[in-house]
Amino acid sequence: MNDHRRLGRELGIFDTDPLIGSGLPYLLPAGAAVRKAVEDYVHELERRSGYQHVNSPVLGKRELYERSGHWAHYSEDMFPPMTVGGEEFVLRPSLCPHHALVYRARQRSHRELPLRIAELGGQYRSELSGVLGGLTRVRSIQLNDGHVFCPPESAAAEVSAALDLIEAAHAQLGIEAARYRLSLRGDGDKFVDDPRMWERSESILREVLQERGRAYDEERGEGAFYGPKIDIQIADPAGREATLSTVQVDLYQPARFELSYVGGHRPVMVHRSVVGGLERLMAHLIEVHGGAFPAWMAPVQAVVLPLSDAELPAAESLLRRCLAAGLRAELAPADRGSLGARIRAHRLVPYQLVVGPREAAGGRASVRLRDGSQAGEVPIERLAADSRPLF
């Protein structure tokens, strides 16, 4: 079984240290390379879909989360406030209050809507030690988050567009959804008590799912405190489910922050996360691909393998060309063992570039794919083009 906790450490993707703390893993160079490739892909996917990217602080005054409703409905999952200069600050449990303030930074007209903003940012959850594990349940989450502010009549179209983004990203990443879930309000004071608001939000999400012909399950008590969600569930090799991507309709926070556009109209706030928290995503990718990541996200995309020391200068020149072309590449010289041993050591690398006497004389390489097949002498520029994600 491809358990990401074992594979992630074996492949040098992530590790933990008790001095940093439970639920706070750190990424090693291979993991940082995978994360950067995914970040860049999602950033470009969002840009092409009309999103503007922002950056906001990981701290906010307690007053901010009182206004958003997090303090009243979610404080048990938040880290305690820190007092600085007589004011209380909190590590944010969510990015949405910050994005609401981005929206209201100036007056908005109807022509500006929908306003789509996105951010890859940190959020923090005060999880109990007993539920933490690997990358799937952590206390520091790097979330691919985004919010669409739109007129009420456009909300269904924006929810559907968000699902288009999610499904495109899942296809590119090699992810298969286990199921779609409509997560609804439960009982108790963890949920905003406004039945009419919930009914309006739920009707929008149901309309979209039905129009797309998407089968889904309904589950009470799994909604956000401010509104219902479409959750895209994934499953690990053991069949354990987790939420990866989500789309939410929020009629609560726009009112709490008094958001409006010209004419005194109130926008709807559609929350969406294309790939969710990067930690959980990476755990799933490790298990789905078994460390043999698609070329565009592989930590090392090409390894240069000189047959002997005589080919080392040509191999070093080829490595420089690979790096200049944008490939993540490294050199495995002959002093690291036989060619067969070096190929086995780099069995997860998509492209193995073997440089023998003939290739060295011509400034080329014989390309071997990780499935063992031979691709012949492929130009470096073509390998670089084949190692980019599709849009």
Dump pLDDT digits (tens) for 77-129: 999 999 999 999 999 999 999 999 999 999 999 999 999 999 999 999 998 88
Do 191 and 336 belong together in one domain?
no
pLDDT at 133: 82
CB within 8 Å of 181: residues ≥ 6 apart: 216, 217, 218, 219, 222, 230, 231, 232, 233, 243
Residue where a domain terminates, one of 264, 289, 314: 289
> What is the per-residue pLDDT across 5-42, written as a single tens digit (0 to 9) for each?
999 999 999 999 999 999 999 999 999 999 999 999 99
State which of 251, 266, 289 marks the end of a domain.
289
Distance CA 163, CA 147 (A): 13
Summarised one tens digit per residue, pLDDT across range 339-358 is 999 999 999 999 999 999 99
Q: How far is it, in rounded angstroms, from Cα 118 to Cα 315?
A: 42
Same domain, 264 and 362: no
Full-model pTM: 0.94
Q: Residue 175: how many CB atoms within 10 A of its CB?
A: 20
Task: Give the residue from 176, 195, 172, 168 showing the smallest Cα distance to 184.
Answer: 195
Helix (H/G/I), strand (E/B), else coil: 305: strand
Would 252 be classed as within a structural domain? yes
Per-residue confidence (pLDDT) for residue 129, from 0 to 100: 81
For position 187, what pLDDT does the model report? 86
Residue 116, in any domain of the structure: yes
On the question of pLDDT at 362 being above 80, the answer is yes
Q: Are residues 152 and 278 in the same domain?
A: yes
164-190 pLDDT per residue, tens: 999 999 999 999 988 999 999 988 888
Strand partners, 233: 179, 243
pLDDT for 238 equals 80
Instruction: Give yes or no for a contact between 237 and 176, defined as CB atoms under 8 angstroms apart.
Output: no
- Top-confidence residue, 238 or 62: 62
Domain span at 372: 302-386
Distance CA 181, CA 376 (A): 47
Q: Specify whether 29 is located in the same domain as 106.
A: yes
Report the domain count for the chain.
Answer: 2
